Amino acid sequence: MNVEGERVFAAPRPVVWKVLNDPASMAKTMPGVESFDVQDDKHWTAQVKVPLGLGGLKMKIAMEKAEERELEFALMMMTGQGVGAMMNMTTTFELSDASDGGTKMIWGAEVHIAGPVGSMGQRVLQPIINQQVQGVLGALDVQVQEALSAGSS
Amino acid sequence: MEVSRAIAVTINGTEYERDVEARKLLIHFIRDDLDLTGSHIGCDTGNCGACSVIVDGVLVKSCMMLAVQADGTTIETVEGLAEAGELTPLQQSFSDHHALQCGYCTPGMLMSATALLRSNPNPSEAEVKKALQGNICRCTGYWNIIEAVKAVGK
Amino acid sequence: MSNTVVTPEKVATPQKGWAGQSVPRKEDKRLVEGEGVFVDDIKRHGMGYIFFVRSPYAHAHITSIDVSKAEAIKGVYGTLTGEEVAALTDPFFQLSTPPGAHLKDFALAVGKVRYVGEAVVAVVAETRELARDASELVDVEYEPLDAVTDARHAQDDGAPVLHDDSGSNLMWEGVYEWGDLDAAFAEADKVVKISELHFHRFNSTPLETDGALVEFNRGTGQWTIYTNNQFPGFAAIMMGPAMRTGLDKLRFVTQDIGGGFGNKITSHPQLVACCLLARKLNRAVQWTEWRTDFHMSMSHGNERWFHDTEVAVKSDGTLLGFRTKALDDAGAWLRYEPLGGVIWAQVTPGMYRWRNIRLEFTQVATNKAPVSPNRGYSRMQHLWFTERVIDIVAHELDLDPVDVRKKNYIRTEDMPYETPNGCIYDSGDYAQMLDVALDLIGYGAVEERKAEAASRGKLVGLGIGSTLDSGTNNFGQSRMINPELQFSGNNEVATVKLDIFGEIVVTLGTTPQGQGHETTAAQVVADILQCSVDDVHVRAGHDSYWNSHAGFSGTYASQFAVTGLSAVKGATDMLAAEIKKLASAVFGGVPVEALELAEGGVRIKESPDAFLPFMACGAIINANNAGLPEDLGVTLNCRYVYRPPFQVPDVEKKFGNLTLTYAAQVHVAVIEIDPETGYYDIVDYAAVDDCGIRINPQIVEGQVMGATAQALGAAVHETFEYDEDGNLLTPNFYDYHVPHALDMPPLRTGNIESPSPFTPLGTKGMGEGGGAGIHAVCAAVQDALRGHGDAIVWDSHNPYHRVWEMLQHPEKTREGVTVS
Amino acid sequence: MLLREVEYAKPSSVAEALTILAANDGARALAGGQTLINVMKARAASPDGLVDLNGLAELKGIDLGADGTLSIGPMATYTEICNSAEARARPILGEVCAQIADVQVRNRGTIGGNICANDPTNHLPPLLAAIGAQMTIAGAGGERVVPAEEFFIGVYLTAVGPGELLTRITIPAGKADGFAAVTLGADGTCIANAAASLNGSLRVAVGCVGAVPLVVHPASADDDAVREAVRGAGIDAPSDVHASSEYRSHLAEVLSVRAARQATQRAGT
């Protein structure tokens, strides 16, 4: 399945770029992160527990920044390994200047679920992923603002 | 909170006391711990009803209940139906109407039908079908099972 | 329940004959009391529970496997990986010629996974729960590959190749042609072309899934395999060579089996894993397959496409012949395949008289679960095709489907009928069966029903499904797949003995899964020995140590009523002769012709007081035999092997008799569609069956009902569908909806009895049915949509949304259908 | 089958249950278990602990107020609702509960569990949204009341937060309700469903087409108005093996109309 969208941040590109490339602040944007390790600037892993009413959906997520053009474009591969099911996600971020000095981010994610998820995968995981993505974007806003104020102070 | 606890259940008139893990399903407890293998497992999603038992007079699927939740209850399984080796009219009717082939779903079917006949001694065909909806049979197509249950009602 | 209770066996009064009566089943008492013994009920001291780590990917290289974390857990007994399997065993013998012959199929995935759910590692632990816990700690690194899930694209350039050893996804292909196609199409007034038809993937989902408990005896090097495999003979010939051991080291034991329907024939890979673990860990190991495991990995029915079909027909509906290309989707491995590539030919012309037929069969591999026999194996797909063709031809030429069938059905006066490919339809009266079925359904009133439904905004349709259930394989047909194969004919074994206290003990080679063999065998024995069925003890289940089996022993392919009961009859006739021989000696040389069996013993016809009860016979031979003539030659323990009269087929011409008997079914369905939603109900249903002489009519009717219910489930709901990544979308009963009691339509059954001239008892194998319900529902849907877009039903699976789509876009279904 | 290791507690009061939930971050309430235990069998979601609400009398009971308001304990089973004389004050409740799954599930499954699970295919989320139910949620900070429309947040997510419990479901008086569904086999899992209530103005709630029930307020109860309202809501229904997005969206309209017709018919009687 594919999820994609557009977001405008009230901050210049370098700030947004910095946040997107800072594992620490990225970690803060992801739901239910229990631990986060940085191997190098291109490889991170995280233990997350997606909070659900029925109990956490535990996943070990490995991220690799496969491609980047400074301040413009980044492509990340994520592999999430839960029990039975695997999630492979290719995410792209494309930054450009927005009119009011802000930054426009066009993002997209191609998600593949593998395993005995059945139609639950189609019917349930898609809404859940949409939900998580909205959460991430919201949190990203916060991180960008923090980075902005941190930078200005 | 505890990962295991001691429970006491009475099954078919016999009292059992065991320590069980909280995660153990009632059906695994009945089959593996108590070796009452009449109740079966045919799915892993609570659909098939082969594990149906009667807990404190209520028909349930024992794969959707934890053994620890059965603490202090009285449970009836298929092994408890026939008294003194004498088949119940329902069991006899299943045989008379060829309501079983491989016999794997039969224990659950019998428990569901038993529960029905207790609350409704003379069920209509529609009532029988509705009462057996939670039990899957892959051999008979249900027609003979429905006849067998109706025959006991009459 | 500690008090001991003795319940007297009910004594049945001797009848004129037990055969032909609906005798209550001997199996029932233990089953209704919950005292049956199914494979998961068997326990051993210190046994370990197996849990398989399965692939989440449809296609991937296995780059590494690390079991150390799992093995470190207290209570974990050990693991088994593909590498170990590859070192300890040889690949399973392949039935196919190249390219399929090159597959290297092992008990666990080696180096690569090819479908979601393929077993990669086996973990054994003290409890079921712990084994699964440990399985989560097995680290398997995968390198995902593209998957191919649509057989139509399996041979595209650049399509992912499952098996490098075979070079491409083509597994087996063969061309079958009989008669004179050119002449047929030249003679035709019309040629109806159908570009694509699709028979979907499903199986019978027996309620009990596969399993085994395996013990290894280090001293004798012998494995005892308690399992619910329904064809131990086949498992043994697959497992022995792979495990580099003699077949006698593999002892198969079954008792009660919770349904099989063919789906339990190909569990040999898992059984090998169990055997290796029992030996490696030196303890009994137990494997129970859970429902989701079964759906993902076990025995899907063959999915088949029919492309570029051309039908030669006269204006009056006389069918002359057809050409088609069958594309069969085998899934990831050839476990019983490519036998499906010839099994269909048992029913080449369906029930019709066309003589000119060409079928190009191609079987490919895809990243889906391996297929295996499923009730109606391979013939159901082909019979669905012929029935679809009949209804599409009738529809397009504006003829009545009933007339077209009656005009083209093979006639009873032509029986036994030789088909274009040399199969002999033994007996039957298809036209009469159709009349009976139409009568049961109230055919006369159908037009009024349609009008009444229309007044409520509903669409009513009537559909016919006429099919065959060919029984008792001639395994020589396997040579049409691979001339090198040394299989032909068929056999089944029974032993009948008179024990020391006169007990009649019958041992079968079969592995019944609910077909009531203990009962019907007793009926045959009781008639010959002139005793009560209650005096006949038929051993439950199968044990290869009983020495009562042969190469083809098992319960599959609609054959017990022929092979099993003929073996029972043969052995019992031998015993009866021996009893008379013994009595003749005991009575001082009275000729055996003067003796008769009666009332549980043998007596002199003229002076019935001279009576020797079976008990005395058993006692004399077994325990009191001094002074008997040296050359008496009586053991009262008789083993008989029934061998059907088969020849090896002509492999070149693909010609010969492939099965001994042809039971027939004609079903009629009436459905009512809600055009707003596509939802429909089967509002009336009639099933007429003819399987020759019925030993136990109630059991036969039970089989007819069961086959009908499974067909209706498959027609409306049941499907194994995959997404483009190769994930199974119906991995359990939550999404794979099987019919419930509320889903069943009112059913009317009828039968006619056309004895088989080729079998000792006039019986025919039955039980599989030919998927008649699927054909009938497809035809009924097409009939209901007539005048509402005239959609053509092209798929065997028609859930509500497909019916709705056919109403929205009938033109899409008509694109591939032309008449010239 | 074969759950992950899990802790278990059987509190004797709601207060105790809340304390345990508050003290154990990963713990979840166990109601009927007819969804949760199956999810745990798949080991898809795995709570660290289960707080068993069975046997808490405070969470049981079906009471009918003088003004016709129904107050239902979340641990009331479907069977209890079907058999309750009080529940008949809102007939649609028992009618829909009788269509859920099968006898065994109805004997154990609860109204609270059904809406707190909020599986998109469940019957009760759209029904309670349509009939304007109110949910009382208790937590360390006391009780709060949430209307159905705000109760459902996402798939398997509701306003009941960590350390909280649904303690009461309040349903206003009314009889003019309707429900329609297309299910997988007779009385099976919903492929799509819709509930309607015409007590005062018409309110329609559609299930199976999104993460939460879609609530629309048609201008009138006639077919076109209802169809318009649903169409106008811009449904983006998920596809699965049982239905394409297009088919689900179509069913949403058809079933909404049927539910509205039933509601209208009952309003007339």
Question: How far is the C-alpha of C781 from the C-alpha of C402, rounded, in Å?
Answer: 16
Q: Tally the C-alpha atoms within 13 A of residue C468's C-alpha that lie toward its C-beta.
A: 33
**C468 and C529 share one domain:** no
Task: Tell whether C32 is covered by a domain.
Answer: no
Q: pLDDT by residue (tens digit) across C177-195?
A: 999 999 999 999 999 999 9
Assess C701–B contact: CB distance below 8 Å, yes or no.
Answer: yes
| Closest-approach residue (CA) in chain C for D185 | C743
Assess D243–B contact: CB distance below 8 Å, yes or no.
Answer: no
State the DSSP H helix or E strand holding residue C436, giving kind and residue range, or none if neither: helix C430-441
Q: pLDDT by residue (tens digit) across C276-286?
A: 999 999 999 99
What would you measure as the largest C-alpha separation in chain C, in angstroms?
A: 88
Inter-chain CB proximity D155 and A127 less than 8 Å? yes
DSSP D88-99: GGSHHHHHHHTT
**C693 and C791 share one domain:** yes
Assess D108–B contact: CB distance below 8 Å, yes or no.
Answer: yes
pLDDT for the residue numbered C757: 96
**C527 and C621 share one domain:** yes
C185: closest CA of chain B, how far (Å) = 43
The more confident residue out of C754 and A35 is C754
**C784 and C813 share one domain:** yes
Using CB atoms, pick whichever of C144, C292, C725 lies closest to residue A116. C292
C38: closest CA of chain B, how far (Å) = 8
Assess A128–D contact: CB distance below 8 Å, yes or no.
Answer: yes
Inter-chain CB proximity B23 and D102 less than 8 Å? no
The side-by-side arrangement of strands in the sheet containing C601-604 is C595-598, C601-604, C611-613
CB distance C709 to C669 below 8 Å: no
**Which C residues 473-502 touch D at CB under 8 Å?**
none
Domain end marker among C616, C642, C668: C642
Question: How far is the C-alpha of C340 from the C-alpha of C361, rounded, in Å?
Answer: 10
Q: pLDDT by residue (tens digit) across A18-32?
A: 888 887 787 788 777
| Closest-approach residue (CA) in chain B for D17 | B1
Question: How far is the C-alpha of A109 from the C-alpha of A131, rounded, in Å?
Answer: 13
Using CB atoms, pick whichever of D24, D27, D104 lies closest to residue B61. D104
Task: Tell whether C762 is covered by a domain.
Answer: yes
**C754 and C772 share one domain:** yes
pLDDT for the residue numbered C8: 38
Write the CB contacts of D66 (distance below 8 Å, at least 6 apart in sequence).
none
CB distance A72 to A60 below 8 Å: no
Name the one residue in this structure whose structure tokens are 């404190």.
Answer: B56
Inter-chain CB proximity A83 and D44 less than 8 Å? yes
Assess C31–A contact: CB distance below 8 Å, yes or no.
Answer: no
pLDDT for the residue numbered A121: 63
Assess A131–D contact: CB distance below 8 Å, yes or no.
Answer: yes
Residue C324: domain span? 197-202+299-476+649-819
**C245 and C103 share one domain:** yes
Assess C133–A contact: CB distance below 8 Å, yes or no.
Answer: no
Using CB atoms, pick whichever of C29, C35, C205 lies closest to residue B138. C205
Task: Tell whether C623 is covered by a domain.
Answer: yes
User: Which chain C residues are within 8 Å of A115, Cβ to Cβ?
Assistant: 56, 116, 727
D70: closest CA of chain B, how far (Å) = 26
Among C452, C346, C417, C387, CA closest to C667:
C387
Q: pLDDT by residue (tens digit) across B44-89?
A: 999 999 999 999 999 999 999 999 999 999 999 999 999 988 999 9
**C231 and C380 share one domain:** no
Assess C611–B contact: CB distance below 8 Å, yes or no.
Answer: no
| Neighbors of chain D with 3 or more C-beta pairs under 8 Å | A, B, C
Spell out which chain A residues touch chain C, with contact meaning CB-CB distance below 8 angstroms: 83-86, 88, 112-122
For chain A, which domains are there? 2-152 (3.30.530.20)
| Sign of the C-alpha dihedral computed for residues C810, C812, C813 and C814 taken in this order | positive
**C468 and C496 share one domain:** no
Residue A88 has pLDDT above 90, yes or no: no
**C377 and C458 share one domain:** yes
Q: Which amino acid, C550?
A: A
Q: Mapping DSSP to helix (H, G, I), strand (E, B) and coil, where does residue B54 land?
A: strand
Strands (E), C608-764: 611-613, 637-642, 659-673, 680-690, 747-751
Assess C769–B contact: CB distance below 8 Å, yes or no.
Answer: no
| Closest-approach residue (CA) in chain A for D37 | A54
Task: Tell whether C159 is covered by a domain.
Answer: no
B28: closest CA of chain C, how far (Å) = 9
Inter-chain CB proximity D155 and A128 less than 8 Å? yes
| Closest-approach residue (CA) in chain D for B50 | D104
Where is average pLDDT lowest: A119-133, C51-65, C229-243?
Answer: A119-133
Domain end marker among C588, C610, C642: C642
CB distance C68 to C50 below 8 Å: no
| Closest-approach residue (CA) in chain C for A121 | C729
Inter-chain CB proximity C740 and D186 less than 8 Å? yes
Q: Retrieve residue D90's tokens.
A: 């809102």
User: Which chain A residues are within 8 Å of D42, Cβ to Cβ?
Assistant: 84, 116
Q: Mapping DSSP to helix (H, G, I), strand (E, B) and coil, where does residue D72 land?
A: strand
**C458 and C499 share one domain:** no
Q: pLDDT by residue (tens digit) across C778-807?
A: 999 999 999 999 999 999 999 999 999 999
Q: Retrieve residue C596's tokens.
A: 């008769």
Question: How far is the C-alpha of D77 from the C-alpha of D113, rounded, in Å?
Answer: 9
Neighbours of D140 (CB within 10 A): 10
| Sign of the C-alpha dihedral computed for residues D253, D256, D262 and D265 taken in this order | negative
User: Which chain D residues are within 8 Å of B109, Cβ to Cβ?
Assistant: none
Assess C505–B contact: CB distance below 8 Å, yes or no.
Answer: no
Task: Tell whether C357 is covered by a domain.
Answer: yes
pLDDT for the residue numbered A119: 57
| Residue C694 pLDDT grade (very low, low, confident, very high; cuts 50, 70, 90) | very high
Q: pLDDT by residue (tens digit) across B4-54?
A: 999 999 999 999 999 999 999 999 999 999 999 999 999 999 999 999 999
Assess D211–A contact: CB distance below 8 Å, yes or no.
Answer: yes
Using CB atoms, pick whichever of B38, B84, B141 lies closest to residue C708. B141
pTM of the model: 0.95
Segments making up each domain of chain B, as ranges: 4-79, 89-153
Domain B89-153 has CATH 1.10.150.120: yes
| Sign of the C-alpha dihedral computed for residues B76, B79, B82 and B85 taken in this order | negative
Assess B21–D contact: CB distance below 8 Å, yes or no.
Answer: yes
Using CB atoms, pick whichever of D158, D162, D211 lies closest to residue A131. D211
Residue A69, strand partner residues: A73
**C397 and C496 share one domain:** no
| Residue A123 pLDDT grade (very low, low, confident, very high; cuts 50, 70, 90) | low
Using CB atoms, pick whichever of A115, A119, A122 lies closest to residue C56. A115
Neighbours of C570 (CB within 10 A): 21
CB distance C224 to C251 below 8 Å: yes
Dihedral angle computed from the Cα positions of residues A98, A102, A105 and A106, in that order, rounded to the nearest 10 degrees: -20
Q: Retrieve residue C585's tokens.
A: 């000696």
Residue C414 has pLDDT above 80, yes or no: yes
Interface with B, mutate which of D56, D103, D114, D189 (most B CBs under 10 A): D103
User: Which chain A residues are within 8 Å of D39, Cβ to Cβ?
Assistant: 54-55
Q: In the CATH hierarchy, which fold is given to the domain comprising B4-79?
A: Ubiquitin-like (UB roll) (3.10.20)
**Which D residues 115-174 touch C at CB under 8 Å?**
none
**C228 and C124 share one domain:** yes
Average pLDDT, chain C: 95
pLDDT for the residue numbered C12: 41
Q: Retrieve residue C219's tokens.
A: 């001293």
| Closest-approach residue (CA) in chain D for A82 | D44
| Interval C413-441 mean pLDDT | 97
Phi, psi of C741 (to 5 degrees): -55, -40
Neighbours of D234 (CB within 10 A): 8
Inter-chain CB proximity C56 and A88 less than 8 Å? no
Q: pLDDT by residue (tens digit) across C480-506?
A: 999 999 999 999 999 999 999 999 999
Assess C204–B contact: CB distance below 8 Å, yes or no.
Answer: yes
**Which C residues 300-339 touch A at CB under 8 Å?**
none
Burial of C252 per CB tally in 10 Å (0-12, 13-18, 19+) = buried
Query: For residue C91, is the peptide bond before it cis, meaning its omega torsion is within 30 degrees of 0?
Result: no
A60: closest CA of chain D, how far (Å) = 13
Task: Tell whether C485 is covered by a domain.
Answer: no
pLDDT for the residue numbered D258: 98
Residue D159 has pLDDT above 80, yes or no: yes
Residue C10 has pLDDT above 90, yes or no: no
- Read off the DSSP letter of residue C196: E
Residue A153 has pLDDT above 60, yes or no: no
Question: How far is the C-alpha of D102 from the C-alpha of C638, rounded, in Å?
Answer: 52
Phi, psi of B147 (to 5 degrees): -60, -45
Task: Tell whether C224 is covered by a domain.
Answer: yes
Using CB atoms, pick whichever of B22, B28, B52 lies closest to residue D104. B52
pLDDT for the residue numbered A57: 73
Task: Tell whether C794 is covered by a domain.
Answer: yes
D23: closest CA of chain B, how far (Å) = 10
Write the CB contacts of C195 (distance below 8 Å, at least 6 apart in sequence).
C307, C308, C309, C815, C816, C817
| Interval A100-115 mean pLDDT | 84
Domain count, chain C: 3
| Closest-approach residue (CA) in chain B for D51 | B1
Assess D103–C contact: CB distance below 8 Å, yes or no.
Answer: no
For chain D, which domains are there? 7-52 (3.30.43.10), 59-171 (3.30.465.10), 177-268 (3.30.390.50)
